[in-house]
Amino acid sequence: MSRRSDSGRDPSPSEWAEAERIAALHPLQQQDHPTAVPADPARLVHVNTYGALPTFYIDRPFICRRCGKREIWRARDQKWFYEEAGGHIDARAVECYTCRKAKRKGDTQP
């Protein structure tokens, strides 16, 4: 299996289908999945939540709310976002990379 890129920004139909399949699994099955990335609770102390902290991250397929593009938010990127960048645990990727980049530049059109 060869991949041009596994950033999740431009998933092939099979990558997308696989990510959707994994996302629909029971959490216990996700946790044991080879693509799951373990969470480090010590790095999540900044998180203020009434819910349980995650014990792992799994690839999350999503559709950009601005342009409708399909992207996969990779488990390793979630780990970085929550544990390194201090992102809120309830925050989810809702816009694709292109739209987020355009917004940072202050453009309204990608």
Strand 70-73 relative to strand 60-63: parallel, antiparallel, unpaired? Answer: antiparallel
Q: Which is nearer to Zn ion, 83 or 95 (CB)?
A: 95
Query: Which tokens is 100 given?
Result: 């987020």
DSSP H helical segments within 1-110, as ranges? 13-23, 27-31, 75-79, 97-104
Residue 66 in contact with Zn ion, rule: CB under 5 A: yes
Looking up tokens 């816009």 gives: 95
**Using CB under 5 A, which of 69, 76, 87, 102 touches Zn ion?**
69
Residue 64 in contact with Zn ion, rule: CB under 5 A: yes
**Using CB under 5 A, which of 17, 25, 63, 67 touches Zn ion?**
67
**Using CB under 5 A, which of 36, 75, 93, 96 touches Zn ion?**
96
Residue 99 in contact with Zn ion, rule: CB under 5 A: yes
Specify whether the backbone of 106 is left (phi greater than 0), alpha (psi in -120 to 50) or beta. Answer: left
Residue 100 in contact with Zn ion, rule: CB under 5 A: no
Taking the C-alpha atoms of residue 32 and residue 5, their distance in angstroms, rounded to an integer, is: 24
* Residue 42: CB minimum distance to Zn ion, A: 34
Residues in contact with Zn ion by CB under 5 A are 64, 66-67, 69, 96, 99
